Amino acid sequence: MRQGPMSVLLCLLLLSPFAVAEQPLSLEAGARITELQQRLEESEKQRTLLTQQMQSQDGERESAQLSRLRQDNQRLKLAIKELQAGANPVQRLLTDQQQWFLIGSAVALLSVVCGILASGGHRRRRQWLN
């Protein structure tokens, strides 16, 4: 066998897929394509409409949540003001350390007074001084 016809045959076999001619579309296929394009346009419109509705619902939900948070904030501010107003008259005048200092000084003063009263109010001669 000769190499020439074999190589030509191989080249023709390799180029045959590219040589396939396009067949014209039938009327049914063209009608089907236009129908599918119309359905695609309708579905795109529905998608944009649903997206807008979803965004508006999210906005309403967020605004409802924001109003609830504002109400809670106002309620808590009022509670803080009431607690501060109620705490002012009852507010402690002295700290714990100052109270203990006053109690200690009162005990010392009371013991001095008791000591003076126990001695009878007159001076005795102190023996231990001599």
pLDDT for 48: 92
- Please state, in angstroms and rounded to a whole number, the distance separating the CA atoms of residues 19 and 1: 27
Across the chain, which has 130 residues, the per-10-residue mean pLDDT values are 68 68 70 91 93 86 88 93 70 80 95 84 58
What's the confidence (pLDDT) of residue 23?
60
Q: Which residues contact 94 (CB under 8 A, 6 or more apart)?
A: 102
Cα four-point dihedral sign 100, 102, 104, 106: negative
Q: What span, in angstroms and rounded, lies between the C-alpha atoms of 44 and 51?
A: 10
| Kind and range of the H or E run holding 89 | helix 27-90
CA-based torsion, 8, 10, 16, 18: positive or negative: negative
- pLDDT at residue number 88: 58
Q: Whole-structure pTM over 0.85, yes or no?
A: no
pLDDT, residue 90, reads 44
Give the per-residue pLDDT at 104. 96
Is residue 15 within 8 A of residue 7, CB to CB? The reply is no
